[in-house]
């Protein structure tokens, strides 16, 4: 007996209908997206938000995230100059060991910000020489700040106020003056003291100096070879705590591995009990499946809070929380085992 299959008849009209339907879909989908974007533009009043935006502040925040700044500050109440890295309590340079771009002369200073930008501090007066603009003279008084600017229009990066002068010709160069202090900001790429603490003998060394030091037989610390001393100083950095971070990362990876392996160890045999073609008891199958639902239904964070009460903070708590949650998940995802028939068993 011959079996015949009916194939659909493709007519030109049917083809044209399909092409026209796809053309409409191709045209309507972008229009729908544009309509939605237009709706959100007016619904959230994006034009007003853009008018209030301050791109210069965003640029400053972006600069602060990838660079650090060194402050040269003269406080009039104490009458002293201080050169320090911002954000570090102990990162203040000694008067005889300031960076080479700062020259101290008693209570006065000369600061070279690079690219021709220089600032001279003389008493309560600061002279800011800006290439292409001129010399700004600002003097702190009891009432505020007296400022003398070069002739012509005042640039946007010069903010003159009777109480404060703020000059920022570039993102990495800034001068602020109030009646109480003169402050200079000089930015440098990189995070402050990321490699070594400020008071470390390795602070400020170049890559070539590190290479020469690692190969040198003269030890900085008699208890360590120079190479291990460099590693020790890096890992024990009190500001960034690289050693503690590496240990925490290793513990996190080990918690994930141990928790997942434990879940697989218990989830696989339990998956047999939940399989209809392996466990004939409906009650046992139902109980095992509801156990899986219960384990994965409770969030991992909730499990960790429960185990914290029992075992305290530590890797064991995290591993158990992962194991309980993943046991329910893997028990659901494991393929249901198949029964092996007598014939297949003999063939095997």
pLDDT of 2 strictly over 80: no
What does DSSP assign to residue 92? B
- The tally of CA atoms less than 13 A away on the side-chain side of residue 243 is 10
The answer to whether 186 and 171 have CB atoms below 8 angstroms apart is no
Cβ pair 170, 154 in contact under 8 A: no
Rounded distance between C-alpha atoms, residue 108 and residue 281, angstroms: 91
Least confident of 18-27, 114-123, 170-179, 225-234: 18-27
pLDDT at 110 over 90: yes
- Note the pTM of the prediction, 2 decimals: 0.62
pLDDT for 249: 93
What is the total residue count of the chain?
A: 348
Has residue 215 got a pLDDT over 50? yes
Give the model's pLDDT for residue 15.
67
| pLDDT score of 341 more than 50 | no
Q: Which helix (H) or strand (E) holds 183?
A: strand 181-189
Q: Would the pLDDT of 253 be above 90?
A: yes
Which pLDDT value is given to residue 17? 73
Question: Cβ neighbours of residue 107 under 8 Å, at least 6 residues apart?
Answer: 74, 79, 80, 81, 123
> DSSP 3-state assignment of 267?
helix
- Mean pLDDT, the chain, as a whole number? 84
The mean pLDDT value for 178-183 works out to: 92
Of 123-137, 197-211, 330-344, the least confident: 330-344
pLDDT, position 64: 75
Query: Between these two residues, 110 and 57, which has the higher pLDDT value?
Result: 110
Q: Which residue has the tokens 């185990």?
A: 307
H helical segments located in the chain? 12-43, 46-52, 55-66, 207-215, 226-235, 242-273, 282-297, 300-311, 315-333, 342-347
Q: What is the pLDDT of residues 36-66, one digit of tens each?
A: 889 888 888 888 888 887 777 777 788 778 8
The sign one gets for the Cα dihedral 47, 52, 57, 62 is negative
Which of 77-91, 97-111, 184-198, 318-332 has the weakest average pLDDT?
77-91
In which region does residue 149 sit, left (phi positive, over 0), alpha (psi from -120 to 50) or beta (all else)?
beta
Query: Does the pLDDT at position 90 exceed 80?
Result: no
Residue 128's pLDDT band (boundaries 50, 70, 90)? Answer: very high
- Band of residue 239 on the pLDDT scale cut at 50, 70, 90: confident
Name the residue with tokens 């700004």.
136
CA atoms within 13 A on the CB side of 179: 7
Say how far apart CA 111 and CA 157 lie, in whole Å: 20
Which residues lie below 8 Å from residue 285, measured CB to CB, with a gap of 6+? 273, 274, 275, 276, 279
Query: How far is 152 from 91, CA to CA, in rounded Å?
Result: 41
Looking at residue 346, what is its pLDDT?
36
**Confidence at residue 250, expressed as pLDDT on a 0 to 100 scale:** 93
When pLDDT is averaged across residues 172-183 and rounded to a whole number, the result is: 92
Residue 213 pLDDT exceeds 90: no
Report pLDDT digits (tens) over 281-295. Answer: 889 989 989 999 999
Nearest to 333 by CA among 253, 282, 263: 263
**Per-residue model confidence (pLDDT) at position 185:** 92
- Bridge partners, residue 81, by sequence: 74
């Amino acid at each position: 007996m011959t079996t015949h299959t009916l194939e659909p008849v493709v007519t030109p009209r049917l083809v044209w209908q399909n092409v026209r339907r796809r053309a409409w879909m191709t045209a309507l989908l972008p229009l729908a997206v544009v309509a939605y974007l237009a709706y959100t533009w007016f619904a959230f009043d994006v034009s007003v938000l853009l008018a209030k935006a301050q791109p210069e502040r965003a640029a400053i925040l972006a600069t602060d995230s990838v660079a650090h700044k060194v402050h040269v500050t003269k406080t009039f109440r104490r009458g002293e100059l201080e050169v320090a890295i911002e954000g570090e309590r102990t990162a203040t340079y000694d008067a005889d060991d300031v960076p080479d771009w700062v020259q101290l002369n008693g209570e006065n200073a000369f600061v070279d910000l690079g690219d021709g930008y220089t600032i001279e501090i003389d008493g309560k007066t600061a002279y800011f020489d800006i290439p292409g603009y001129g010399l700004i003279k600002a003097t702190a008084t009891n009432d505020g700040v007296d400022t003398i600017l070069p002739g012509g229009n005042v640039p946007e990066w010069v903010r003159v106020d009777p109480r404060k002068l703020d000059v920022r010709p570039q993102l990495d160069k800034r001068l602020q003056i109030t009646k109480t202090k003169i402050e200079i900001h000089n930015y440098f790429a990189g995070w402050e003291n990321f490699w070594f603490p400020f008071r470390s003998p390795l602070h400020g060394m170049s890559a070539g100096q590190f290479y020469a030091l690692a190969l040198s037989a003269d030890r900085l610390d008699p208890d360590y070879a120079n190479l291990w001393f460099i590693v020790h100083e890096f890992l024990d950095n009190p500001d960034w705590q690289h050693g503690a971070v590496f240990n925490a990362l290793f513990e996190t990876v080990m918690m994930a591995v141990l928790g997942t392996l434990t879940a697989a160890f218990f989830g696989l045999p339990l998956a047999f009990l939940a399989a209809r073609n392996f466990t004939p008891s409906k009650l046992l199958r139902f109980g095992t499946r509801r156990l899986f639902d219960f384990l994965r239904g409770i969030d991992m964070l909730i499990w960790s809070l429960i185990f914290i009460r029992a075992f305290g903070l530590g890797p064991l708590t995290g591993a158990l929380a992962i194991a309980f949650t993943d046991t329910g998940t893997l028990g659901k995802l494991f393929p249901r085992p198949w029964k092996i028939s007598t014939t297949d068993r003999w063939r095997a």
